[in-house]
Amino acid sequence: MATSMTTDEPPSSQSSSKSRSGEKNWLERLFGAFSAEPKSRDELLDIIKDAADNKLVDAEALSIIEGALDVSSQQVREIMIPRSQMVVVSLQDKPEEFLPKIIESGHSRFPVIGESIDDIRGILLAKDLLPLVLKGLEEFQLEDIIRPANIIPESKRLNILLREFRENRYHMAVVIDEYGGVSGVVTIEDILEEIVGEIEDETDEEEADSFIRKVGDNDFIVKALTPIEEFNEYFDCELSEEEFDTIGGLIMQSFGHLPGRDESTRLGDFMFRVLYADNRQIHLLRVSRKERPPEEET
C-alpha cells in the first residue's frame, strides 16, 4: 500500500504565504492594468482604491490621486472666482484709494482695470507696492509697476492651465467668456486646492479670527463686519447691540446714509472714518479713541 507523504506548513507560514499571494495578485492586477492601459477612469480608480484597502496607499494619497484625476477633466469655469467677487484696482485710483482695499482683501495679486472691468490693463502684485515706503506717494505711478495680464478662455482645462502656470511662472489668469468679456479670475492656488484640498497660509487663521488690528497708539483698523459684542469686549466699552449685530450697521445708522471714503462720524468715545466702501456697504474703518482725561486725585 503506497503511502502519500505530505509536509504541512506551520499556520504562520501559511498565513504569510497567503498574504504574499494576495499582495502578488494585487500587484499583478496593478501592473497588468497599466501595461494594458485601464479602459476607463473608474477602472483606474478601482485599482487605486484596492491599493488603499490593502494599506499600500494611505487615505491622503488616495485623495490627492482622485483630485489629480478630477483636475484633468475640469474646466476653468468650474473653479474660477466669478466676476462679481473679483477684487480689482482701477488704473485711475490713487494709492490712498486702493490701499485700504488691498489691506482688507489680504490677496497678493489684483487685476488692474481701465474704464471698466472688461478693460484689463495688467496685474498688480502687492509686493511691488513696497517701494512706496521709501519713495513716497508723490513719485508713484501705478502703470509703471503693473505686470502683463494672462487672458484665458473659460473652457481651458485645469491640467493644461496648471502646466502653463508652472512653465511660464505666473500665478493668476483673467478668464474671459465667448464674447470677450471678463467672467472671473483663477490662480494656481485654486487649482492646487482641487488636488490637495484647502491650503491655508500663516495668515489665514489670523484673518479669519481677527476683525480689529492695532496700527498705532490710539489708531485701529476695524472690519465693518466686526460683531458689536466683540468690539465692546476689545475696547471695554458699551456700544448698543439692540438694533444691529455689526459695527458696520451701527455706523450706517450714525451716518443716516451710505457713506463714501473718508467720511467720518463719532460714536461715544470713538471717531470712525470710512477707509473702503462700495455702492452697497461699508467694508473697512479707521477707528481712533478719544483719550480719557486722567482721574482727578482726591
**Domain ranges, ordered by start, for the chain:** 23-71, 77-196, 207-289
Kindly tell me if the per-residue pLDDT of 84 is higher than 60: yes
The pLDDT value recorded for residue 6 is: 46
The pLDDT value recorded for residue 194 is: 81
User: Tell me: the pLDDT tens digits for 175-209?
Assistant: 999 889 999 999 998 888 888 766 655 444 444 44
d(CA 134, CA 90): 23
Question: 77-196: which CATH number, 1.10.287.610, 3.90.550.10, 3.10.580.10, 3.40.50.200?
Answer: 3.10.580.10
Kindly tell me if the per-residue pLDDT of 229 is higher than 50: yes
d(CA 147, CA 166): 17
Which CATH architecture describes the domain 207-289?
2-Layer Sandwich (3.30)
Q: How much of the chain is helix, strand and coil, in % rounded to 5?
A: 40, 20, 35
Q: Give the mean pLDDT of 150-162.
A: 93
Q: What is the pTM of this model?
A: 0.57
* Most trustworthy range by pLDDT among 8-12, 64-68, 119-123, 275-279: 119-123
Least confident stretch, 30-34, 150-154, 249-253 = 30-34
14 compared with 62, residue with greater pLDDT? 62
- Residue corresponding to grid cell 499600500: 56
Cα–Cα nearest to 158, from 81, 83, 79: 79
